Amino acid sequence: MVKTNTGRFFEDYTVGQVIDHAVPRTMKMGERALYHMLYPARHALYSSDQFAQDCGLPFSPLDDMIAFHIVFGKTVPDVSLNAVANLGYAQGRWLLPVWPGDTLRARSEVIGIKQNSNGKTGVVYVRTTGLNQHDETVLEYVRWVMVRKKDLDAPAPVNVVPDLPKALTADQLVIPKGLDFTNYDFTLAGEPHRWGDYEIGEKIDHVDGVTVEEAEHMMATRLWQNTAKVHFDTSARPDGSRLIYGGHVISMARALSFNGLANAQIVVGLNSGAHANPCLAGDTIRAWSEVLDKAQTDAPGVGALRLRLVATKGGKPFDLRADDGKFLPEVLLDLDYWVLIPL
């Protein structure tokens, strides 16, 4: 009997299949320290207990993207170990803060499958739920992945492509219990810009850049227990390169967006996302944002911004697509998400 896990291939998935992922992970302050070391993350709510308490929370939660990476990493051995690429995201919601000491696990349901025309790969759609030690849902999202076939002669399944809404509405966002920005300290947060200072259609060049190195991206990917072969094994890709984990690009771009969006404290919704082009070691990641929508919430002093976050490895700020509608080759990430910001 074979004891090792070679991962699932495209023909192993069926719509309605539910996968409980190993292994639960207890989160501590070490994850925060490493996260802030790997990315230039400086948002005040995730840096200071006192700042978080002044905003109505018991103390500082772990960064929202830490929760995302941990839950995502749990799914990799079952969903994307044999992936060619992680293609996109939708319907992501952060439902509860993750506190130091919480234990996270993940469960996924296959909601769609579609074989590609080459007969060698297919796209698998999953809805993933992250749960804490109390079986409370802290995070949920949909993603779709291109996965290799093992048996090229396996018959193509009936294509099922889920109908995913373009974006979450503001009333679908979940505000952390007790959050109150009426006594928000803009000086300690690092910038004076509040909800009313941003206009729909406004674009912000975040100015700074970070060059990604082989060692640090593999260290980050291991931190999240993401075991996808393409991030570590040079034989997994035809060109012999290691592909940078897409979540690494997301966190880097989110951290870079502090310059211009320092008060966009909490990520609460992920509308859509595309990893437009591969990111490799030696690339310098830069970022720009566009304000897509604004909304007020029922929480005191708390507003919401819907933002486009674009990560690039060159080119001019605010350039996204070519005349044919395809992403420009220097675009790495196009992410549409909701954040909470003081009014």
Residue 322 has pLDDT above 90, yes or no: yes
Reported as a pLDDT band with limits 50, 70 and 90, residue 217 is confident
Average pLDDT over the chain reads 95
Reported as a pLDDT band with limits 50, 70 and 90, residue 227 is confident
pLDDT on residue 236 = 81
Q: Say if CB 231 and CB 249 are below 8 A apart.
A: no
pLDDT on residue 80 = 86
Reported as a pLDDT band with limits 50, 70 and 90, residue 247 is very high
pLDDT on residue 91 = 97
Reported as a pLDDT band with limits 50, 70 and 90, residue 83 is confident
Question: 95, 132, 136, 104: which is closest to 31 by C-alpha?
Answer: 104
pLDDT on residue 155 = 92
- The amino acid occupying position 109 is E
Question: 38, 16, 20: which is closest to 245 by C-alpha?
Answer: 38
Of the chain, the percentage scoring pLDDT greater than 70 comes to 100
Residue 190 has pLDDT above 90, yes or no: yes
pLDDT on residue 81 = 85
pLDDT on residue 243 = 86
> Which domains are seen in the chain, by residue range?
10-342 (3.10.129.10)
Residue 2 has pLDDT above 90, yes or no: no
pLDDT on residue 140 = 98
pLDDT on residue 55 = 98
Of the chain, the percentage scoring pLDDT greater than 90 comes to 88
Between residues 321 and 226, the one the model is more confident about: 321
Between residues 80 and 184, the one the model is more confident about: 184
pLDDT on residue 325 = 95
Alpha carbon 63 to its chain's center: 12
Contacts of 57 (CB under 8 A, 6+ apart): 45, 97, 176, 178, 179
- The amino acid occupying position 49 is D
Q: Say if CB 338 and CB 308 are below 8 A apart.
A: no
Rounded to whole angstroms, the Cα distance separating 288 from 279 reads 17
Residue 231 has pLDDT above 90, yes or no: no
Question: 203, 178, 206, 177: which is closest to 191 by C-alpha?
Answer: 206
Phi and psi dihedrals of 20, rounded to 5? -95, 120
Q: Say if CB 266 and CB 175 are below 8 A apart.
A: no
Reported as a pLDDT band with limits 50, 70 and 90, residue 234 is confident
pLDDT digits (tens, 9 = 90+) for 97-132: 999 999 999 999 999 999 999 999 999 999 999 999
pLDDT on residue 187 = 98
- The amino acid occupying position 191 is E
Rounded to whole angstroms, the Cα distance separating 285 from 300 reads 36
Reported as a pLDDT band with limits 50, 70 and 90, residue 339 is very high
Task: Determine how β-strand 121-131 pairs with β-strand 137-148.
Answer: antiparallel
